[in-house]
Amino acid sequence: MTDVSTTMPRKTARLAWLTRALIADPMALCSVIWLILVLLLIIANTSGIFAGARIDLKARNLPPFDLSFDWRLWFGADALGRPLMARLAEAALTSIGIALVTVLLSVILGTVLGLVAGYFGGLIGAAIMRASDIIMGFPTLLVALVGLYLFGPSVTNLVIVLAITRMPSYIRVARAETLEVRERLFVDAARVFGGGPFWIIRNHILPIVAPTMLTLASVNVAMVMLFESGLSYLGLGVQPPAVSWGLMIAQGQGYLSSAWWLGFFPGLAVMLTTMSFNLLANWFRIVNDPSQHWRLVRRKRQ
């Protein structure tokens, strides 16, 4: 504590510590590896490696793991004879993209509203909270349907609808945390120096609230992915010809007994990705809580 001389530049030290902590947690490490794999797949797809993934009705429902085919067909082909690998990659971009953008949108708006509601309270706070209560009370299905019906079934609209329905959780957490942080002594100290509300929110409250929001966001990426897949499964989310994992499951359902791989792989992908985000959220929590650091370290030594 007192005389630990830290000569290393802080950013590097932090990065090194994060890497060490990551290696110490095998589950988190696996998650990162999986996400990187998915990312590579997406990049491969967008850069056209799967080009020629055209409809080919003769290759319809080709079974997977037949290594005698072209490598693109190792995961089998879908109902229109396109390589499943390419479809999975394209769906990954939609599914993860939707989840990330949705969460980004809702985390920013939700945090801002939560900070405002928590710090100022009063009428604005009450208004924000009631509004978020009402949003929470709604069946998301209905909201999604209305949104998609009114504004057309596009990915953008899906993102907006999902972002709105996810926002309340951020508002609540940000508000609760703000209420707590607001009472801490260092906030009082800043006030004694003459810090105004925005100064305090920006410099003192936000930095404390942000890691919690980040953790929540990570969990929420997982939730949104599940949710989007559910909506798409019901035909209320991503619409063909666009494709997402959820939609692939829905489409694969028709081939449940004839070509199980059509529904199996996208479902597995949803599960692994969701799990990765959850595990990373866990890991992130531990990394951000010094009292739990020994967990990471102990594992490293074993």
Partner 1 sequence: MAPIFLLRRTTLAALALLALMTATFFLVRLTGDPVDLYLPVDASRAARDAMRAQLGLDRPVVAQFFEFFVNLLRLDFGASLWHNRPAMAVVLEALPKTLALGAIALALAFALSVVVGVIAAARPGSAVDRFINVVSQAAASVPDFWLGLMCVLVFAVNLRLLPTSGFGGPAYWVLPVVCLMARPFGMLVQIIRGSMIEALNASYVRTARAKGAMEGRVGFVHALRNALLPAVTVTGDLAAQFAGGGGVVEVVFGFPGVGKLLIDGILRRDFAIVQSSIFAVAVVIFLINILVDMLYAAIDPRVKVE
Partner 2 sequence: MTAPLLDVRDLSKHFGAGNTPVRAVDGVSFSIAQGETLGLVGESGCGKTSLVRTLLRLNAATSGHAMLDGIDIATARGAELRTMRRKMQVVFQDPYQSLNPRMRVDRLLSEPWALHRDVLPRAEWSSEIARLLEAVGLRPEHALRYPGEFSGGQRQRLGIARALALNPSLLICDEPVSALDVSVQAQVINLLARLRRERNLAMLFVAHDLAVVRHVSDRVMVMYLGRIIETGPTKTIFSTPRHPYTQALLSAVPTPDPTQRGKRNRIVLQGDLPSPSNPPSGCRFRTRCWKATEHCAREAPALMARGPDPALLTACHHASG
Partner 3 sequence: MSLLDIQDLAVSFETASGRIQALSGVSFSLERGEVLALLGESGSGKSVTASAIMDLVPNPPGSVDGGSISFDGTDLLSLTAPRRRAICGERIALIFQDALAALNPVYTVGWQIGEMFRIHRKTAGGDIEAAVVDLLNAVGIPDAVRRARQYPHEFSGGMRQRIMIAMAVALEPDIIIADEPTTALDVTIQAQIVDLLDTIRKRSGAGMIFITHDLGVVAELADRVAVMYAGRIVEQASVFELFADPRHPYSIGLLASQPRVDVETADLVPIPGSAPNPAALPSGCAFRTRCPRAQQVCADIVPTLEGAGPGRLVACHFPGPAT
Among 1, 67, 150, 192, interactor with partner 3 by CB under 8 A:
1
Query: Closest approach of Cβ 194 to partner 1, in Å?
Result: 39
Contacts of 163 (CB under 8 A, 6+ apart): 101, 102, 103, 105, 106, 109
Query: Closest approach of Cβ 283 to partner 3, in Å?
Result: 14
Q: Is 3 in the site for partner 3 (CB under 8 A)?
A: yes
Closest among 124, 126, 118 to 200, alpha carbons compared: 118
Among 9, 137, 194, 241, interactor with partner 1 by CB under 8 A:
137
Among 159, 209, 246, 261, interactor with partner 1 by CB under 8 A:
246
Contact partner, 296, from partner 1, partner 3, partner 2, none, Cβ < 5-8 Å per class: partner 3
Query: Closest approach of Cβ 297 to partner 1, in Å?
Result: 11
Query: Closest approach of Cβ 179 to partner 3, in Å?
Result: 21
Instruction: Decide if 275 contacts 260 (C-beta within 8 A).
Output: no
Among 145, 208, 272, 275, interactor with partner 2 by CB under 8 A:
208
Q: Is 295 in the site for partner 2 (CB under 8 A)?
A: no
Closest among 115, 241, 263 to 175, alpha carbons compared: 115
Q: Is 132 in the site for partner 1 (CB under 8 A)?
A: no
Phi, psi of 17 (to 5 degrees): -65, -40
Find tokens 């100290």 and name the residue.
189
| Cα gap 242→225, rounded to integer Å | 16
